[in-house]
Structure 1
């Protein structure tokens, strides 16, 4: 899909060349496990979160990443470190503040259902569970959700969808430009689920963009001679492949 409007302001045509950017959601964290709001607030990965990061690393090793990026949140940094360890990469990772998750303002650290209920009320939804149900069904766009959260935040600090999209797409454009300059074909970026979804909100019509992404799920963005195309939203194939590789290695060591 060709980009238009505000997206074109962030995603510049960097000219001839091709590069694939793989955006990956971080591994499971304590707040993920406890179902609490986690934007710029941060908790460490659980054991399951560490495992799924290693699985993604093992399963995606053959892609041959040349550059590695993450946001500056601990869970993003930790996920990238485990991925690189699994790939025996000696590259120097780069941190970009722009790759952070959405900032949820006064809702940070609260149960997710409290934020969903407040956002639903801001949109005029009748029941407390309506927003949660719409989110689970993929019937609520992430941009509409983010703007509802921002509107409902009594602290008036939560980011709008436009703010998140602009910073994420700006980071994407920068990564593409750098990759083209250095002739890198494959780049990995660890970010967070909602910010990734908002980044691609005006880049594709695929309804999967509004579904929640699993931990260590991937979205592939192809750049080809000035055009961006979103592929494989919420892709878990690399985690699944990595699990098989690690399980086989563990079985071999046990014999």
Structure 2
């Protein structure tokens, strides 16, 4: 059975608002984040889902419950948490200032004091950017390209196992993880360069086929445009 997957990025959090690195570190949704998510929930309220899932981080769990509570045509039981869909792990940089973190990674990669992450990735390519992040991390705990790619493949395999008898599901994940999925599985991405970072509460739609192949068909759609 082919499964349609609605990937939702969680709502704005306190760390998003404070411009802090937020991977496996967690912070609560802001009032703005909740209000923006209500628009997404309303846009999806008349779409039937056989099930809903989320990563195991609280900001994603809170987001999926907002989606569940607003949906008028689905009967969703207990939400299953899938840790494979956690955000990218930034190791020792978790909770640090974002601009200072990008500057540190940029310097480690020999690009000077660049703070625009898209410019850094476009110069290095995604592979070297992930490697530079791990190298710049004092404890070298940050996920590099191979580690993240392995987890991403495992995540899709796990999702196929969970949804084998489901036509359409909703899954709440995270910005960098969704973006990395799109770079790999969206035919409008060349698989090398950076693409736009998905907005909080945005909708990315994918198709999971019987043989486990995954393809993204819509990326970073805002609620008002859905």
Q: Same fold (TM over 0.5)?
A: yes
Structure 1 unaligned runs (5+)? Answer: 1-16, 243-255
The correspondence of residues 86-97 of structure 1 with structure 2, limited to 5 A, is 86-88=70-72, 89-97=75-83
Q: Secondary structure at the match of 2:46?
A: helix
- Indicate which of 57, 63, 81 corresponds to 1:73: 57
Cα distance between partner residues in 1 of 2:79 and 2:162: 14
Distance apart, 1:225 and its partner CA = 4.3
1:73–1:134 CA distance, 2 compared to 1 (3 A)? same
Could you say if the C-alpha distance between residues 209 and 179 of structure 1 is closer, same or farther in structure 2, counting changes exceeding 3 Å? farther
How far off its partner does 1:142 sit? 4.6
In 1, the alpha carbon distance for the partners of 2:44 and 2:20 equals 29
| Distance (whole Å) between structure 2 residues aligned to residue 77 and residue 62 of structure 1 | 21
8 Å CA contact 1:30, 1:46 repeated in 2: yes
1:26-175 paired onto structure 2 within 5 Å? 26-88=10-72, 89-129=75-115, 131-132=116-117, 134=119, 141-175=125-159
Q: Equivalent residues in 2 for 1:189-208 (5 A)?
A: 189-207=171-189
SS in 2 for 1:64: coil
- 2:170 corresponds to 1:188: yes
| Deviation by residue 1:2-24 (Cα, 9 ceiling, x = unmatched) | xxxxxxxxxxxxxxx31111211
Cα deviation for residue 210 of structure 1 reads: 2.3
Extract unaligned runs of 5+ from structure 2: none
Aligned position for 1:233 = 219
Distance 1:24 1:68 in 2: 11
- 1:1-56 deviation line (CA, Å, top 9, x unaligned): xxxxxxxxxxxxxxxx3111121110000010111101111110001111122221
RMSD (CA atoms): 2.3
Map of 1:13 onto structure 2: none
TM-score by length of 2: 0.87
Count of residues in Structure 1 that have an aligned counterpart in Structure 2? 220
Shift of 1:90: 3.6
Whether the 8 Å CA contact 1:142–1:210 is kept in 2: the answer is no
